[in-house]
Amino acid sequence: MKRKNKFAITGLALLPFLFLLTGCPGSKDNDRIVTSDTTKPAPPADIKVPAFNADSAYYFTQTQVDFGPRIPGTKAHKKCLDFIVAELEKDSLHPMVQTSKARTFDGKQYEFNNVMISSDPKNNARILICTHWDTRPWSDMEAVDSNKPFDGADDGASGVAMLLEVARHLKGAGVGVDLVFFDLEDYGQQEGKNGETTKYPEQDNTWCLGSQYWAKNLPTNFIMPRYGILLDMVGGKDAVFPMEGTSLMYAPKVVNHIWDIASTLGYSGYFTRDRTAPTIDDHKYVNELAGIPTIDIVHYDVKTRDYPYFHHKQSDNMSVIDKKTMGVVGNLLLHVIYLEKNNSETP
C-alpha cells in the first residue's frame, strides 16, 4: 500500500496525527498480551470458535516466499495464483477467478487475477475478508539497490496465508464469508523516492488496481456483506495494529467492533487505540467504489509514524515473520466470524 495519502482524501489528510501512545509497541512479548483487559463479556458458551493454526499459516507464508517474489507477469506470480486456487479447492470452496487487464503507471499492461470464494453463499448475513497476493516489483524504500525485488513475506504472503487458514474453518460459522485475494495492489507509483517509480509523470489511483476493478465489477448474485476486513502485513514480529485513518473515516463502527473483540481476547497490546493518518490500501476502493464499510488491519509503527521498518525493503523476508502474531490475528478473525451470527445488525 501507499505510505502517505497525499491526494485521495482531501481535508482529512490534513488532520494532525492523533497518536495517543496508550499502547506499548516494541515492549517484551509478555507485556503485550493484556490478559486482564476484558471490557466486554467473553463469547457465549454455546459458540465454539475453532482454533486457528498458526503453524499452518506460517507454512503457507513460507510456500509463497519459496515461489519467489510474486511480481505480476512472472512465473512466481502464476505459481502463486495456482497455489491459492488449489488450496481453496482442497476445502471444496469453489474459487472464482476474476481476470482482466490493467495499465500500470509505467505504461505497461498486465493481466491480473482476483480470486474469491463465498462460503454459505445464500446466507444474507455475510462478512468480507480480503488481502492482496501480488508482490511489489521494487524495494524502493531502500537507499541502495532500490530496483531489486524483495520476498514480500509480510507484505502479501502473510495476508494470503491468513485467509487460506481461515478458509478451513468456515463451515458451520452461521454466517457467510467472502474471501477475496486481490491482485495488482502493490504496483503503485511512490512519489518522492528514487527508483523506477519516479521516472514517470505523477498519476492518481495507481495502487490497488485489482481491488478497484473488483469493486466496480462485483460478481453476479453477490450479496452485500455487512462489512469488510482487509489484512495487510499481518505476520510481523512485534506487530502493532493501530486504528487506521481511512478505516476510521469510512467504517468507524466496524473499527470499534473489531478492536473491542480484540480487547476481549486480551490483544490490546497488538490492537492499540492509536490512530494513523488515512492511507491508501485496497479497503479505500472497497469503501468508495463498492460501498462496503471496510477496515484495514495493517502493521503500523506508532513510534516512527510509518509502516514497519521492513516495508518495501529487502528485509521483508521470513526473518520478520512471527507465528505468534499470526496466531493473534487468526484467532481474532475466527472470533469475529463466529460471533457475527449473534449480531442483529451491521456494526
In DSSP terms, 228 is beta-bridged to: 128, 294
Task: Give residue 203's Cα distance to chain centre.
Answer: 24
> Can you tell me whether residue 115 is helix, strand or coil?
strand
Q: How far apart are CA 91 and CA 121, in angstroms?
A: 15
Binding segment for Zn ion (CB under 5 A), chosen from 54-62, 150-158, 242-250, 317-325, is 150-158
Binding segment for Zn ion (CB under 5 A), chosen from 108-116, 133-141, 187-195, 240-248, is 133-141
Number of residues counted as binding Zn ion (CB under 5 A): 3
Is residue 178 close enough to count as binding Zn ion by CB under 5 A?
no
Q: What is the DSSP string of 76-113?
A: HHHHHHHHHHHHHHHTT---EEEEEEEE-TTS-EEEEE
Is residue 87 close enough to count as binding Zn ion by CB under 5 A?
no
Is residue 155 close enough to count as binding Zn ion by CB under 5 A?
yes
Backbone angles phi, psi at 288, to 5 degrees: -75, -35
Q: How far apart are CA 334 and CA 174, in angstroms?
A: 12
Please identify, using beta-carbon distances, which residue of 87 and 186 lies nearer to Zn ion. 186
Backbone angles phi, psi at 116, to 5 degrees: -145, 140
Exactly one of 178, 186, 316, 322 binds Zn ion (CB under 5 A); that residue is 186
Is residue 274 close enough to count as binding Zn ion by CB under 5 A?
no
Please identify, using beta-carbon distances, which residue of 126 and 299 lies nearer to Zn ion. 299
Please identify, using beta-carbon distances, which residue of 155 and 238 lies nearer to Zn ion. 155
Binding segment for Zn ion (CB under 5 A), chosen from 67-75, 88-96, 117-125, 183-191, is 183-191
Q: How far is the CB of 281 from Zn ion (least distance, A)?
A: 9
> Can you tell me whether residue 294 is helix, strand or coil?
strand
> Which positions from 275 through 334 interact with Zn ion, judged by CB under 5 A?
none
Binding segment for Zn ion (CB under 5 A), chosen from 110-118, 155-163, 263-271, 298-306, is 155-163
Q: How far is the CB of 253 from Zn ion (least distance, A)?
A: 27
- DSSP3 helix / strand / coil % (the chain, rounded to 5): 35, 15, 50
Indicate the angle between helix axes 75-90 and 159-167, nearest 10 degrees: 20
Please identify, using beta-carbon distances, which residue of 186 and 238 lies nearer to Zn ion. 186
Q: How far is the CB of 109 from Zn ion (least distance, A)?
A: 21
Q: How far is the CB of 80 from Zn ion (least distance, A)?
A: 15
Task: Give residue 314's Cα distance to chain centre.
Answer: 20
Binding site for Zn ion (CB under 5 A): 136, 155, 186
